[in-house]
Amino acid sequence: MRRALVAGNWKMNKTIEEARTLAREVAEGVAGDGLSQADVLLGPPYLALAAVVEAVSGSAVGVAGQNCSHQADGAYTGEVSVSMLRDAGATHVILGHSERRELMGEGDGLVARKSKAASAGGLTPIICLGEPFTTRRAGTTLARIAHQVEHSIQGAFGSPPPGGFIVAYEPVWAIGTGLTATPEQAQETHAFIRERLEAIFGLECAQETRILYGGSVKPDNAADLFAQPDIDGGLIGGASLNSADFLEIIRAAQMDSAST
């Protein structure tokens, strides 16, 4: 059985003090409510990483970067390396988020290079895939996803890491829009991603890989999404900025873990 994972992506939100407070509230909520059956990660902006790492230290909550460079060090103004994230205490890094793909022009090749660098440097990548609305409307979602699996994941890894990958399926049209893929739409794409991973990396990797759903997950739709057999948790944007909502979503993931 795959262990559920709920990761918060705070994007460009929260001052250092606000981040510290939110991280404490989440860590205390996870401990106080005994939410130990789902893994929990917080993804603060870089400047708040150290404060968040300190705030969750000694708890079961981990910390993820929102992006990293594929370069180790050097003249790359404004970039942050894998070793810098590790040094700050992050264990994971979100890569290929749709906002980086859409707003910063990051393509599959770069996502693959970043994933490779992260993995080699000891950070676990959370590799994001997803289609824009035009692709869904054209009925070519699965072809687009297959291409992303090949070029963002297969392009980076000759063999799978132990325990499989962490992939996030994020339909671009559902991110920050309040629109959500129906549980059935999400399940179909998640099952397809798992099928592609099996074809490329084998059954064990496909079965171990955790595929998170991202796209306007809220307390009131989380349970239905997480009940789908191939949805192993969520990458949560807006609803992770508020501890009560985020804890409610973690609770939904934990209940699903307990029932499967």
Q: Report in angstroms how near the CB of residue 224 gets to ligand PEP at its nearest.
A: 15
Our CB check for ligand PEP shows the closer of 85 and 168 to be: 168
Our CB check for ligand PEP shows the closer of 62 and 238 to be: 238
Structure tokens at 126: 């959370």
Active centre residues (catalytic): 97, 170
Our CB check for ligand PEP shows the closer of 175 and 206 to be: 175
Burial class (CB in 10 A: 0-12, 13-18, 19+), 178: exposed
Q: How many CB atoms lie within 10 A of CB 131?
A: 24
- Closest to 122 (Cα-Cα) out of 178, 81, 171, 174: 81
Our CB check for ligand PEP shows the closer of 61 and 205 to be: 61
x/- track of binding to ligand PEP for residues 138-177 (CB under 6 A): --------------------------------x----xx-
Q: Give the CA-trace dihedral at 132, 137, 140, 144, to 10 degrees.
A: 0
Which 223-252 residues touch ligand PEP, going by CB under 6 A? 235-239
* Sequence-ordered list of residues with C-beta below 8 angstroms from that of 227, at least 6 positions apart, any chain: 183, 256
Q: Based on the shown chain and the rule CB under 6 A, indicate whether residue 215 belongs to the binding site for ligand PEP.
A: yes
Q: Based on the shown chain and the rule CB under 6 A, indicate whether residue 102 belongs to the binding site for ligand PEP.
A: no
- Closest to 91 (Cα-Cα) out of 137, 43, 139, 124: 124
Residues at the contact surface with ligand PEP, assessed by CB under 6 A:
9, 11, 170, 175-176, 214-217, 235-239
